Amino acid sequence: MSGSYIAGKTIVVGVTGGIAAYKAVEVCRRLVDAGAHVIPVMTAGAEHFIGRTTLSALCSEPVQTSLWDEASPIPHTRLGQSADLILVVPATARLIGAYTAGLSTDLLTNILLATRAPVVICPAMHTEMWEHPAVQDNLAVLARRGVIIVEPDEGRLAGGDSGKGRLASPERIIAAIERTLGPTDLAGTRLVVTAGGTREPIDAVRVIANRSSGKQGYAIASVAASRGATVTLISTVGLPTPVGVDLVSVETAAQMQAAVSHAAQTADIVIMAAAVADFRPKTVVANKIKKGDGIPDIVLEPTPDILAALGATKRPGQILVGFAAETDDLVANAGAKLQRKNLDLIVANDVSAPGVGFQHDTNAVCLLRPEGPMVTIDLTDKHSIAGAVIDAIVEIRAGLT
């Protein structure tokens, strides 16, 4: 990873009214220490939790709280336009709701609507509120619009409760800002990524499927797009399409192969994050197989190995990335796949470990290359894993060009 991209940047920090407001003070201090020009903005709610003087003293300008300041008319457009990044820490359910709905109720929501700068929000609230469908739906909409959401941690909450909803650590918040302000180091590249598990039909209603959620592939698509790549996402699942990404929907291994081999012709980078079925029914029964007809013999045949085919026809300079979901001998098995499929990088995860791989929001992986060191990434969110995969690809490209 790189040095600080925060130095010299103007960051508007919006603080809203939650108990975690006191932690915003530490985040502001770290941003100032990293060389940012930090402009604090507080909502009326925030003033119940921390004093203006605290933020004004720590930041680069006095705190702003109102749209109606004669000394500085239309502060929201001035602040929104001058910012390199807007950070909201903590972000309450109210702020998230207003921002999603496009309601400009106070200075901070006006700034959020008036800016073209990237926005990072750090939700913090009680678990029940965090899990409420209204909040989750709003966050999904914001994520699709390109807002970076730093998910809360699990831990102690106000009033002695505990659960998910505790503000992310200052380290995670600063890392998200670094990533957001970091280089668009994939600018000018075309990247293809697959996501989800294929579904292979048995008859008119039944399929052979697997447990892949597609979340890791979507996270890679999102991170790659934010770092400047032109991204085609070939997917079997219906998650919200990340902003700026072209989606191709497929269902079977054969459809995925057709879409991937077409897109790969012009791609600089192909990442096979999908869980492709290795076998499919040899014949698909046109109608529904009826119970009364007895137990069917379903004869399987192998599917095409999409990645191996790409590896066999790889263009000079093209980067091929595979995934290996293993339950035993992680490094040895993944290393063998790397060689066999002629890959530049393989992302290996032990899907038997808790919180790893299929259907989780978190993952833990080893990144293996034909030469060079193995990188191990401990359990973290899938966006962070995606960032590490893209970092490795950027390193490989730097060695190629």
Q: Tell me the catalytic residues.
A: 210
Specify whether the CB–CB gap between 90 and 26 falls below 8 A. Answer: no
CB of 304 vs ligand CTP, minimal distance in Å: 6
- Strand 245-249 with 300-302, pairing: unpaired
Q: State which residue, 79 or 253, has the beta carbon closest to ligand CTP.
A: 253
Residues 327-346 as x/- pattern, contact with ligand CTP by CB under 6 A? ----------x---------
CB of 337 vs ligand CTP, minimal distance in Å: 5
Residues 293-312 as x/- pattern, contact with ligand CTP by CB under 6 A? ----------x-xxx-----
Structure tokens at 92: 């309450």
CB of 257 vs ligand CTP, minimal distance in Å: 8
Instruction: Return all residues near 238 (Cβ < 8 A) that are at least 6 apart.
Output: none
Q: State which residue, 170 or 322, has the beta carbon closest to ligand CTP.
A: 322
Taking the CA atoms of residue 149, residue 114, residue 52 and residue 87 in that order, the dihedral angle to the nearest 10 degrees is 20
Q: How far is CA 143 from CA 119, 183, 218, in A?
A: 10, 20, 12
Instruction: Return all residues near 161 (Cβ < 8 A) that are at least 6 apart.
Output: 126, 127
Task: Write out the binding residues for ligand CTP, residues 213-272 only, by CB under 6 A.
Answer: 253, 272
Task: Write out the binding residues for ligand CTP, residues 106-135 only, by CB under 6 A.
Answer: none
| Residue 276 in contact with ligand CTP, rule: CB under 6 A | yes
From the list 278, 283, 300, 332, which residue makes contact with ligand CTP (rule: CB under 6 A)?
Answer: 278
CB of 325 vs ligand CTP, minimal distance in Å: 5
Q: State which residue, 10 or 261, has the beta carbon closest to ligand CTP.
A: 261
Distance, first Cα to last Cα, the chain? 19
| Residue 193 in contact with ligand CTP, rule: CB under 6 A | no
CB of 308 vs ligand CTP, minimal distance in Å: 7
Q: State which residue, 84 or 350, has the beta carbon closest to ligand CTP.
A: 350
Q: If 0-12 CB within 10 Å is exposed, 13-18 middle and 19+ buried, where does residue 314 land?
A: middle
Task: Please count the CA atoms within 13 angstroms of the CA of 376 that sit on its side-chain side.
Answer: 4
CB of 274 vs ligand CTP, minimal distance in Å: 5
Q: State which residue, 158 or 374, has the beta carbon closest to ligand CTP.
A: 374
From the list 322, 335, 357, 387, which residue makes contact with ligand CTP (rule: CB under 6 A)?
Answer: 322
From the list 274, 364, 368, 390, which residue makes contact with ligand CTP (rule: CB under 6 A)?
Answer: 274
The closest alpha carbon to 173, from 142, 152, 143, belongs to 152
Specify whether the CB–CB gap between 377 and 347 falls below 8 A. Answer: no
The closest alpha carbon to 1, from 162, 165, 183, 139, belongs to 183
* CA 391 to chain CA centroid, nearest Å: 14
Binding part of the chain for ligand CTP, among 150-158, 179-187, 319-327, 362-370 by CB under 6 A, reads 319-327
Q: State which residue, 67 or 356, has the beta carbon closest to ligand CTP.
A: 356
Specify whether the CB–CB gap between 305 and 320 falls below 8 A. Answer: no
By CB under 6 A, name the binding residues for ligand CTP. 253, 272, 274, 276, 278, 303, 305-307, 322-325, 337
